[in-house]
Amino acid sequence: MIAAALTPDSFLERLPVLARDTVTGLLPESWCWLAGSLLEIIAILAGFGLLFAYLTLAERKILGRIQNRPGPNRTGWFGLLQPFADGVKALTKEDVVPAGADRVLHFLAPVVLVAVSLLGFAVLPFGRHLVAVELDTAVLYFFAAGTATELAVFMAGWASHNKYSLLAAMRALAQLISYELPLLLSVVPVVLVAGTLSTTKIVAAQGGWSLGFVPHWHVFTPWGAAGFGLFMVAALAESNRSPFDLPEAESELIAGHLTEYSGFKYALFFMAEYFGMCALSGMAVTLFLGGWGAPSALLEWIPSYAWFTAKLLVLLLGFIWIRATLPRLRLDQLMKFAWKFLVPLTLLNLANAAGWSLTAGWTGPLQLVRWAVALSLVAVPFVVLGRTLSAGSAPRTYRFA
Amino acid sequence: MSPLQGCLLLSAALFSVGLVIALARSNAILVLLGIELMLNAANLNFIAFWRFHSGAAPATGVIFVLFAIAVAAAEAAVGLALVIALYRHQKNLRLQEATRLRG
Amino acid sequence: MQLSATHLWMIPALPLLAAAIGSLTPRGGRQLAAGTAIAAMLGAFVLSCGALVTALAQPAVHGYANFAWFTLGNEVVRVGWLLDPLTAFMAVMVTFVGALIFIFSLGYMKEDQNFTRFFCFLSLFAAAMLGLLVVNSLLLLFVCWELVGLASYLLIGFWFHKPAAAAAAKKAFLTTRIGDLGLLLGLLWLYHVRGTLLCYDGGAGVLEQGSLTALAGTTVAGGFALSTAIGLLIFCGAIGKSGQFPLHVWLPDAMEGPTPVSALIHAATMVAAGVFLVARVYPLMLADQALASVPVHALTVVAGIGAITALLGAAIAVAQNDIKRVLAFSTVSQLGYMMLALGVGSWVAAIFHLLMHAFFKALLFLGAGSVIHAAHHEQDVRRLGGLGRRMKATFATFAVGTMALAGVPFLFSGFWSKEAVLHAAHAWPVSSLPLLVGLVAVVLTAFYMTRLITGIFLGAPRTDAAADAHENSAVMTGPLLILAACAIGLGFIGTPAWPWLQSNLGGIVVELESIWEAPGLMLLSIGLVVTGLGAGWAVYGRRRNVNASSVDPLAQAAPGLFAVLAARLGFDEFYAATFGRANAWVAALADGFDRRVWGGLVSLLARFGEFSGLLNREADEDILNRGFDRASAAVRGAGQTYSRAQAGETHGYLRTVALAFVVFALVLLLGGVR
Amino acid sequence: MTFTFLILAVIILGSALAAALRPNLIHCALLLVVSWLGVAGFYLWAGAEFVAFAQVLVYVGALSMVVLFAVLLTRQSRAELRVDAPETRRAVWAVIAGVAVSGVIGAAVFATKWDPAPVTAPEVTVRGIGLELMGAHAAALLLLGVLLTAALLGAVVLAAPDRPEKEEKS
Amino acid sequence: MNLPLLSLLVFTPWAGAVLLAVLRNARPAVVRTVTLAFSLSTLALGWAVLLRFDPAAPGFQLVERRPWIEALNIHYFLGLDGLSLLLVLLTGLIAPAGLFASWREARSPRMFGALFLVLQGSALGVFLALDFFHWFLFWELSLIPVFFLIKLWGGENAGRAAYQFVIYTIGGSAFLLLGFAAVFAATGSLDFGQLAMLAADGTLTARLAHLGNFWPQVVFVGVLLGVAVKVPLYPFHTWLPPAYAEAPTGASMFLTGVMSKMGVYAFLRILWPIFPAPLHAAAPCLLVLALAGVVFGAFAAMRQTDLKRMVAYSSVNHVSYCLLALFAVSAASGPGGPAAGAASAALGGALLQMFNHGLSAAALFFCVGVLETRSGGRRGLDDFGGVRAAAPVFAGLCGIALFSSLGLPGLNGFMGEFFIFRGVFGLAPWTAAIACLGLFATAYFLLTFWQRVFHGPRAGAAVGNWPDLRGVEFASLVPLVALMILLGVLPQLLTGLFNPLVASWVAALAHP
């Protein structure tokens, strides 16, 4: 029993696949593919929908705990039914469309946004056998799909016929374009080292352990750690999360492009933001944290999707934590941070990764040299750039405050 | 009608639409976008020939399109910068008014 | 104690070590620097004696020890040490005289600021000189040859703050370098022909029979034997180093250096290196003797140069007033003697004279140094006088040196060695000119030495400096006494009665009788010496009431001749006017070439570019444009019409392109291309 | 001639044509984005995944953003976004030119005898494209990098204000 | 353990330059230390290479060869033989010394250091590259930092000198590039080794002739011009004195110590193996030019009143000795081959001379630089007097450098020159005889230098407070001088590196 559980192909491991095959086995051969796809879509929608629901709750509860208040606790046990209450509220609210608005675009914007933010899930390998679409160019696909979110944000901002919204749209565009670059560039080293754009192969490339308990995840290499950090920072910005939530800054822009949305459309925006966050976290897990891989050979008997979920949840928790901790940036700081800090660092990291894979053959004491060089290539530019970046931005003095 | 011919006709039509946009509209941005459409039509041809026509090297069409996309991006960047310069100069984007060489 | 060839390197190594220590000693470390230098020299002397013992055991054998120095390309450069009586005698002489002069310097240089540096340079010189003697490779010999030149340069210019000293140093180095270039070429030629520069190498050396035969058997341009050509080129080096005519000009100027330096380097040792060199390669010089058809034999040239130098030096010495200058020209003259001896075929006589000359000339120079030191660095004979009473030891030893140099019979070493030279010249079948020259020089030598010694020591002091002079300390007089003893006693090792030196040098037992073949010659030379001394005494010895500015009696008698002699026959001026000017001219030419011709060419190219542009413009404006103006006036009208199509209207352009495409495509399609 | 192709053709041409006719600049731009997406779909249909995603990334992700930015930067009021309707004369000429061009090309397409199409799409993997780019087309790739850099700099220079701004006193 | 040592050699200085470019606000002391540390890397890595280098092994060692632009058959190809190693070591010595010479440079030490390191890396690249493509990149890249070093840190007429230098050399390089473009068109290869093999069996000439009958000659002349300007060969040397004279001392040292060797290196690496037949045909003429360089270079130096210009001309003279040897050997090659002993002596001597001249000329420039800093920028022949009294240690060390330069036996300069003369005498006796004039003239002007500046009473700029060598200056001059003495006595330290190489060259000459 234990032996069977320990094999990577245990029953637990294959359970979702078996379930799908059982359902599709009932249908004629020609429908199998369509039905399988539909099942996968439904599973993703359901899974992540639920995750979204409880993530909002978790966020509110955690923010509450951090701010030393209880958070929602009236609906259901520990407030567990709060998401559903919210959902019902959103559905029943009036849908307000401003008078001068571009009605078609105003409607299209949230729909496009949700649709697009869901697309990315198709190529995430949730488990050993769990990937909806096996693509040779999966990583490229993921980011290509993600780019459309910018368009949707712009549409929302423009269609609202509101100065704040338009300003927010402009801000969002600038921010998203600026952070797209470090996001992509921090992924390139992984592609370079793994030698493939396929997510499953990238995960496979991180399989195995040194000494049985140090996994070969990319995050455990100097460039990987740096890349992971950069990726997460850029992902924060891409999903408009604090401290990069300028486009929807309540205090400055009255929630920006969301100002003129209410009811279910607003809920859709909300949902899309969390989906985007989940998708990017999932990609980070895939690229840097070994995907569904177990951290130790001894823990392999736990099914792979459980590992993936665990890692995903940890990252999401991190998102929430950061939101509770950091204040919002100013717009010029935001842009400066992207172009003067993240982009050079990612470029250097790319070189670092190239050097790392070139020196793959080094053994013995040379290994130490390799590590030292790679670490210094991460640390030195970080310190130097960080210093130069903060050198210019001494605390501002306000003459007319 | 073979698939290749269909693709080529589609491309021809797209090209013409791009041409019409570039010729008929007076806004400089739209003219630029029309030209981008024409470029896309050309790319479509590359892929069509790569897919439905034997004889080419296995990846040539793809590579060509990739290069064309990159060049189009460069072209668009410069073009839009020109548009902004034009706007700063004459406070509108009507291309038919942009006939003076002197600044 | 014996020292074999293998360990011969220790002799130069000791002073070299002392030089190294001296160079690192700070200015304060006077005792250390001087002590190590003198100790090293004495050590080297002991070792040299050991080497002499070894060499004398088998005087006819050239002991050598060769080894590979380094490899260049596929050529192994081998060098070695050579021990034969020539080496050994020279080494003993150099170390002995050197040690004495070092000791003398302790007193002479006492007040000098750069005392340690002085001993460092002296040691360096000694090392190079001894190296020169012990090497078996002409390559290494050349190395040491240049290094003694360097040491000489440094020591002549020791008082570098005096511009005259600095200039003299440079002159010495450059003049000898001219000769050295000849030597270098000779060595290159020899190296190229023989593939080695080892003197003796078990039959393969350049001075051994196989090589000599080959060299003498090859004819080069002008009918010369190859050995003659190479020999003469090597002799060029000797001319430079030994102050032979026409490169003797540097030697008198070299007296700007401290007097011990003049004694050691420019009297006893380094200047004799040229003689040593010729003696070393004597087999090569002799190689063409057997050939009858050559235009000139190498040794004939040597003899000629030697004779000219001997006469020239002695004649100029007569008219000099500086003590050291007189002695310097005397050295030139005596070196000429040695060369003459070499040239007439008796290298043994030459070396005999060299050794003897080293002792008594060193003695004379040190005596002069003693005088100069006592007289507050006054060197002009006219401003001295009457020192004999105040400096008895110096006077006595100087007198011994003078008599040795003049060749006063029987008791003094110079007599015997000079006789050997004259006998050799007498025996030379080719010409009697060298003999005649030698005899004339004998008279002149005795004459100018009398003039010198009376000027310094007799009469009344002519200046305050001379009146104030006192005898120097024992550290200076001691070496004088020892050298004086040698100047008297050493001559006996080479007397006809006991030709020990000759036998041992050449490795052949010299017969007693052969020396006595021409007793008339000896009597003649004795007579000439007496004549010279007497004439000198007659002219200068009985002068009274002279002061520093009175005119020389000879100048009164023959002012023109005296002036010419006093101006050293105008060699310096002549060289400056010819070679110096040619040199400057070539330099100006080279520089001018760069600035004007090549630089000019470059700027010409640039100008040409500019010019063609200009031309183009002019042509355009004047010729083409005018025609075009008219044509374009017509075109302009048409152009204005057409220009409406080119209003800068982008759409119009694009449309034209599109329609043109359609037209061309239609033409193609309807034209039936596919 | 599949159903998918027809749909794609309709999307591509329809949105392009709509863009040609709409007066609102933003709408035109967004419609063209749709058209570009359609082209990306066409690439997918033809089996060139990589190109399709590149198309989306470049056109939808980057170009559209730049275009929209340019639109927003070059207007003074919301009303200006409604651009003038084409002058009739020019529009007629444009249509004539467009029809002529498509007619000529169409004629050429029909007049040419094409070889039969290969049954399967040529197999091109991402790795293959990468190797090809870095191998045979390495020089072109380098040149392209230079071109992009030059274009970027050129764009900055062109779009930068003519007069330097006054130095900020910090 | 297979570190890409050669790549490290080339790129470590560049990495230093990048680092300096980033350290925007660093203090000068930090900047200097960083610069020096990266500059010293060459010496350290050169030592590591030396330990692994096997002189006896034929061909190139520690080769790094990777395809780069396969479409053009271009490889990233580094390798080294005795010749390269010699020059790498020389660079390792001269570069830090040059930095020391400009240690007190107040004007933007960061830029200076960065440019210097770029220069150093490029020079190393030239010595190690074995494919014309990146060889030429390095070759040209070395010009840029030199231009700025001269222009920005140079003397009064630095601008003109810098432009002259760059335009002249680039002009030469254009011909070089043209020549190699034709070679590439004919053979499709830029690999030095392959080209040499093609040249050895005559294929190269045949293929070039296939392009057009005159092409072999045109290509040779083009390559010759490019290299000749860099060395420089006699009539193409007029850029050199102003450039060396106006450059800051450190750059002058590097220029004369390393850059002039790049030209000779190119002769040995390119012209010699790839164009043996045309070189043989042209060698008699070139021999005359090299001779003119020897003689006129030395005599022209005699006329200079600017010490730097004087040393610059002495460089022309000394480098021409190397060329003299090469051309003499080349002129004598052909059926039967030249006398093996003479040829090997000439080539070995030329290699020795390259290293020795680098040492002594750099040291001389260093000394002139010391004079310049002490006197506030004066360096005329008559601006000084009696410096030896004020600064005996400096005078002593400078004297050794001077005597090394004039070829005093016992110091390193003699070894190279003697064996060059020995070889050339065997191959072209009259040339050697005339070249002796150069030896004399060299001694003449160097002694004039020494006498006017160091001897006599203290005068001119030497009056007043005149400190002897300071710590940094002492530390940089002493190793150079010590090496001069060491190599003068034990030339085998160097000859051991390249003896087999020279032997193989000579062997190749015998069967052309």
pLDDT in tens, E333-365: 766 666 777 888 888 888 889 898 988 888 988
CA dihedral C324, C327, C332, C337 (to 10 degrees): -170
pLDDT of residue A2: 44
pLDDT of residue C261: 85
Query: Nearest by CB to B100, which of C648, C655, C658?
Result: C648
Contact E237, E293 (CB under 8 A): yes
HEC sequence for A351-372 = HHHHHHHHHHHCCCHHHHHHHH
Q: Does residue A370 register a pLDDT over 70?
A: yes
Which E residues 209-248 touch C at CB under 8 Å?
A: 235, 237-238, 241
d(CA A207, CA A200): 11
Chain C interface, best mutation among E303, E320, E420, E446, by max C CB count within 10 A = E303
- pLDDT-derived band at D80, boundaries 50, 70, 90: low
- Output helix, strand, coil percentages for chain E, rounded to the nearest 5: 80, 5, 20
Q: Find the helix or strand (DSSP H, E) in which C109 lies.
A: none
pLDDT of residue C507: 64
The dihedrals phi and psi of B27, each to the nearest 5 degrees, come to -75, 130
d(CA A108, CA A125): 30
Q: Find the helix or strand (DSSP H, E) in which B16 lies.
A: helix B3-24
Q: Do D36 and B81 touch (CB under 8 A)?
A: no
d(CA C470, CA C258): 20
The dihedrals phi and psi of C359, each to the nearest 5 degrees, come to -65, -50
pLDDT of residue D164: 53
Of the candidates C81, C21, C79, C14, the one whose C-alpha atom is nearest the C-alpha of residue E489 is C79
Contact E247, E145 (CB under 8 A): no
Which C residues 339-358 touch E at CB under 8 Å?
A: none
pLDDT tens per residue, range A295-304: 877 777 778 8
Chain C residues inside the 8 Å CB shell of B98: 648, 650
User: Is D60 part of the contact surface with chain A (CB cutoff 8 Å)?
Assistant: yes
pLDDT tens per residue, range A1-50: 344 444 556 777 777 777 777 877 777 777 777 887 888 888 888 888 88
Query: Nearest by CB to A143, which of D57, D126, D127?
Result: D57
pLDDT of residue E414: 87
How many beta-carbon contacts under 8 Å exist across D and E?
A: 11
Structure tokens at C622: 């004047």
Mean pLDDT of A59-88: 82
pLDDT tens per residue, range E148-207: 888 888 877 888 888 888 878 888 888 888 888 888 888 888 888 888 888 878 788 888
How many beta-carbon contacts under 8 Å exist across B and C?
A: 23
User: Is E66 part of the contact surface with chain A (CB cutoff 8 Å)?
Assistant: no
DSSP states along E13-25: HHHHHHHHHH-TT
Q: How many CB atoms lie within 10 A of CB E385?
A: 23
- pLDDT-derived band at D81, boundaries 50, 70, 90: low
Query: Nearest by CB to E22, which of A364, A384, A391?
Result: A384
Chain E interface, best mutation among C132, C188, C581, by max E CB count within 10 A = C188
| d(CA C190, nearest CA chain E) in Å | 10
Averaged pLDDT score across all residues of chain D: 79
d(CA C533, CA C522): 17
Query: Tokens 């065997």 sit at which residue?
Result: E426
User: Is A388 part of the contact surface with chain E (CB cutoff 8 Å)?
Assistant: yes
Domains in chain B, CATH or no CATH each: 3-96 (1.10.287.3510)
What single letter denotes the amino acid at residue C340?
L
Q: Does residue E453 register a pLDDT over 80?
A: yes
Q: Do E303 and C143 touch (CB under 8 A)?
A: no
Helix (H, G, I), strand (E, B) or coil at D119: coil
- Number of separate helices (H) and strands (E) present in chain C: 30, 2
Q: Do E72 and D139 touch (CB under 8 A)?
A: yes
Mean pLDDT of E122-128: 90
User: Which residues in chain C land under pLDDT 50?
Assistant: 513, 674
pLDDT tens per residue, range E50-109: 888 888 887 888 888 888 877 778 888 888 888 888 889 899 888 888 888 887 777 788
Q: How many CB atoms lie within 10 A of CB C204?
A: 15
Q: Find the helix or strand (DSSP H, E) in which A97 lies.
A: none
Helical packing angle, E307-332 and E412-427, nearest 10°: 40
Q: Do B95 and C658 touch (CB under 8 A)?
A: no
Contact A167, A258 (CB under 8 A): no
Query: Tokens 């779009």 sit at which residue?
Result: D159
| DSSP β-ladder status, A209-210 and C75-83 | unpaired
DSSP states along E248-281: -HHHHHHIIIIIHHHHHHHIIIIIHHHSHHHHHH
Please report, in angstroms and rounded to a whole number, the separation of the first and last CA atoms in chain A: 72
CA atoms within 13 A on the CB side of C407: 32
Chain D interface, best mutation among C659, C662, C664, C674, by max D CB count within 10 A = C662
Query: Tokens 């520690």 sit at which residue?
Result: E62
Which D residues 19-78 touch E at CB under 8 Å?
A: none
Query: Nearest by CB to E340, which of C69, C74, C157?
Result: C74
d(CA A338, CA A341): 6
Q: Find the helix or strand (DSSP H, E) in which A209 lies.
A: strand A209-210
Which contacts (CB < 8 Å, 24+ apart) does range A240-244 have?
A240/A172, A240/A175, A240/A273, A241/A273, A241/A277, A241/A319, A241/A322, A241/A323, A242/A322, A242/A323, A242/A326, A242/A328, A243/A322, A243/A323, A243/A326, A243/A327, A243/A328, A243/A329, A244/A175, A244/A179, A244/A328, A244/A329, A244/A334
User: Is A2 part of the contact surface with chain E (CB cutoff 8 Å)?
Assistant: no
The dihedrals phi and psi of E64, each to the nearest 5 degrees, come to -120, 115
Helical packing angle, E340-375 and E82-101, nearest 10°: 10
Which C residues 147-186 touch E at CB under 8 Å?
A: 147, 150, 157, 160-163, 165-167, 169-170, 173-174, 177-178, 181, 184-185
| d(CA B9, nearest CA chain C) in Å | 16
Helix (H, G, I), strand (E, B) or coil at D142: helix
d(CA D52, CA D59): 10
DSSP states along E313-361: HHHHHHHHHHHHHHHHHHHH-STT-S-HHHHHHHHHHHHHHHHHHHHHH
How many beta-carbon contacts under 8 Å exist across C and D?
A: 28
Structure tokens at A73: 């606790």
Domain ranges of chain E: 1-274, 276-512
| d(CA C645, nearest CA chain D) in Å | 15
Q: Interface partners of C (3+ CB pairs, < 8 Å)? A: B, D, E
DSSP states along C379-418: -BGGG----TTT-HHHHHHHHHHHHHHHT-TTTSHHHHHH
To 5 degrees, how large is the angle CA E285–CA E289–CA E290?
115
Which A residues 72-111 touch D at CB under 8 Å?
A: 102, 105
- pLDDT-derived band at D119, boundaries 50, 70, 90: low
- According to DSSP, the residues that pair with B27 across neighbouring strands are B94
| Torsional sign, CA A255, A259, A262, A268 | negative
User: Is E462 part of the contact surface with chain C (CB cutoff 8 Å)?
Assistant: no
Q: Do D158 and B85 touch (CB under 8 A)?
A: yes
d(CA D44, CA D50): 8
What single letter denotes the amino acid at residue A253?
L
Of the candidates A304, A285, A309, A290, the one whose C-alpha atom is nearest the C-alpha of residue A205 is A290
d(CA A303, CA C635): 86
Chain E residues inside the 8 Å CB shell of A391: 25
pLDDT of residue C486: 83
Query: Could you say which DSSP state residue A219 is in?
Result: G
Chain C residues inside the 8 Å CB shell of B23: 651, 654-655, 658
Mean pLDDT of A58-64: 84
pLDDT tens per residue, range B1-47: 678 888 888 888 999 888 888 888 878 888 888 888 889 998 888 88
Chain C residues inside the 8 Å CB shell of D90: 651
- According to DSSP, the residues that pair with E69 across neighbouring strands are E74
User: Is C488 part of the contact surface with chain E (CB cutoff 8 Å)?
Assistant: no
- Strands, E assignment, E33-129: 61-69, 74-80
| d(CA C651, nearest CA chain B) in Å | 5
Q: Interface partners of B (3+ CB pairs, < 8 Å)? A: C, D
Which C residues 613-652 touch B at CB under 8 Å?
A: 647-651
- Is the pair C, B in contact (3+ CB pairs within 8 Å)? yes
Instruction: Write the CA distances from E330 to B96, E179, E283, E424, integer angstroms.
Output: 72, 20, 6, 11
Structure tokens at A328: 């919002």
- pLDDT-derived band at A360, boundaries 50, 70, 90: confident
d(CA E157, CA A160): 67
What single letter denotes the amino acid at residue A270?
F
Structure tokens at D156: 């900055």
d(CA E485, CA E173): 37
Q: Does residue D156 register a pLDDT over 50?
A: yes
Chain E residues inside the 8 Å CB shell of A366: 1, 3
Task: Show Cβ contacts of residue E269 under 8 Å, excluding neighbours closer than 6 positions.
Answer: E83, E192
pLDDT of residue E336: 61
Chain D residues inside the 8 Å CB shell of C651: 90, 94
pLDDT of residue A3: 43
Ramachandran class of C648: left when φ > 0, alpha when ψ lies in -120 to 50, beta otherwise: left
Q: Interface partners of E (3+ CB pairs, < 8 Å)? A: A, C, D
User: Is E478 part of the contact surface with chain A (CB cutoff 8 Å)?
Assistant: no
Contact E263, E230 (CB under 8 A): yes
Q: Do B99 and C651 touch (CB under 8 A)?
A: no
pLDDT of residue E373: 82
What single letter denotes the amino acid at residue B68?
A
